Structure 1
């Protein structure tokens, strides 16, 4: 099995998801932010201001490319045109990390603007591994696979999610991206212990950690229902789960996601500074 250091060359510092309205602020004063993430699908075109800004940022910061449209878990073959555009982006940008979701978003010729869950079965495992191998072979690099946020469980699942992800990584050599907000959302919605999930998770395979905000709602029976919205600040229980995770994993590249209702730069940078404090606490413990 590959050492997790081979999965990413990002620094063990906070990063944020890059938004164009923050370009000037980032260039002038990045604060605690040591690296940036972009969604692949936003930069697959040719030319223009977005790519010019991205090229400039890549000269100043390590970059992470995060895909949201490959449909790694889809039943059909991966979209060849999408893969070609992704390869072109990764080739010229040469990011420090590339990641995608354990989810599906396509069926036949339809594309759904969502990241949909999968049953954890042997058939799903074989399909996901085949798709990951195809992506890694085409890009010529290892990728990270992110755990989903879940709102239901499949009766036909025969693997737990941590076991499934561990087996995917074992078979393909990919790394894992651990989203602690997704863990908290899924644990609340499906009524399991988020700490127990972390205890079962193969943390030695994690190359990057994400955290973000979520919305609170209730289901038809009045039980809490959390929605992974990336549209608000990270809540205290998720920060606590991050601390619990870092105590077991050690310091790792840590991304703050805020993709909807995006705040001004000082607000986002304060979230990054809080992430930096979480990493600093772990580094102090490691140094003892």
Structure 2
């Protein structure tokens, strides 16, 4: 039995030895399940070894829950096998689509928050939860341009999705900061309206700047340390909603395991403070 989740890290195979040896209290690791949905081989064996030492979270990127079509049944079967095999503490996906009419795109694309879209996303979440035999959590997206035609605010859309499906939410604080900058929304007002009662996991990450745009554009790159502005928003979230399992998400410009563990410790200290205050 693993201890309760505190602060965790995105797992990268280059860090396997360090990860297996690490004894930080409450440490957990998150992986993209698509990299491990095989029947065997060294990569799956590595993940099973990690699962024996630390709790895992599976963070999917390809269920395409906001598409008009249901999630691929074969993909769900393979994902269920992995869930049964490593017994993750958490399973999550994105409020986005990446497949349409048999075509697959290497991105997490936005959806207009209409009544029709809500019904479709809710049906796809329910199908996924039924197939996996467990609750999943849905991540708020990062935005790069303003879309028109919404019937719901994003926070109300997510709250209604929770009400209809019983799903949880994954609050990506860096996505909130990136979106606020790019499309001119108030990050604190967004967080005040966010249904924190449904949050099962929080993501913290760094971002990049695309200087080809006239006013620059923040990009959710996961290739830098967590920005001070994101840490400030995270403190606000904890003060309102209390401690939640928190991940330091890093996918590019990968530093040493020790450097990542320092950021993880920063999140852990804030979780401890809020936990003692609760």
The residue matched to 1:159 in structure 2 has which SS? coil
Residue 226 of structure 2 is matched in structure 1 by: 234
Residue 129 of structure 2 is matched in structure 1 by: 136
Residue 156 of structure 2 is matched in structure 1 by: 163
Residue 179 of structure 1 is matched in structure 2 by: 172
Establish whether residue 27 from structure 1 lines up as the match of residue 39 from structure 2: no
Tell me if the contact between 1:178 and 1:206 (Cα under 8 Å) persists in the aligned partners: yes
The residue matched to 1:232 in structure 2 has which SS? coil
Match of 1:198 among 178, 191, 194: 191
Residue 4 of structure 1 is matched in structure 2 by: none
Establish whether residue 56 from structure 1 lines up as the match of residue 61 from structure 2: no
Tell me if the contact between 1:231 and 1:258 (Cα under 8 Å) persists in the aligned partners: yes
2-side partners of 1:66 and 1:254: how far apart? 13
Tell me if the contact between 2:206 and 2:225 (Cα under 8 Å) persists in the aligned partners: yes
2-side partners of 1:254 and 1:226: how far apart? 22
Deviations 1:163-219 (A, max 9, x none): 000000000010111000000011111111111000000001111101111102346
Tell me if the contact between 1:74 and 1:107 (Cα under 8 Å) persists in the aligned partners: yes
Establish whether residue 272 from structure 1 lines up as the match of residue 270 from structure 2: no
Structure 1 position 66, deviation (Å): 0.7
Tell me if the contact between 2:92 and 2:170 (Cα under 8 Å) persists in the aligned partners: yes
Structure 1 position 283, deviation (Å): 2.0
2-side partners of 1:209 and 1:271: how far apart? 14
1-side partners of 2:70 and 2:6: how far apart? 36
Tell me if the contact between 1:10 and 1:97 (Cα under 8 Å) persists in the aligned partners: no
Deviations 1:229-287 (A, max 9, x none): 0111101000010001100010110001001222111111111011112212212322x
Residue 261 of structure 1 is matched in structure 2 by: 253
2-side partners of 1:20 and 1:189: how far apart? 33
If asked which structure has higher relative contact order (CA below 8 Å, sep 6+), I would say 1
2-side partners of 1:237 and 1:140: how far apart? 38
Mean Cα deviation higher: 182-191 or 259-268:
259-268
Deviations 1:42-85 (A, max 9, x none): 00112111111111111111111110010000122221221111
Gaps of 5+ in 2: none
The residue matched to 1:64 in structure 2 has which SS? strand
2-side partners of 1:162 and 1:10: how far apart? 31
Establish whether residue 248 from structure 1 lines up as the match of residue 240 from structure 2: yes
2-side partners of 1:149 and 1:10: how far apart? 31
1-side partners of 2:167 and 2:127: how far apart? 12
CA RMSD of aligned residues (A): 1.5
Mean Cα deviation higher: 177-186 or 54-63:
54-63
Tell me if the contact between 1:256 and 1:271 (Cα under 8 Å) persists in the aligned partners: yes
Deviations 1:117-157 (A, max 9, x none): 11000010000000000000111100000000011222111
CA pair 163-10 structure 1, distance change in 2 beyond 3 A: farther
1-side partners of 2:93 and 2:27: how far apart? 21
Q: Which runs of 4+ in 1 moved over 3 A?
A: 30-33
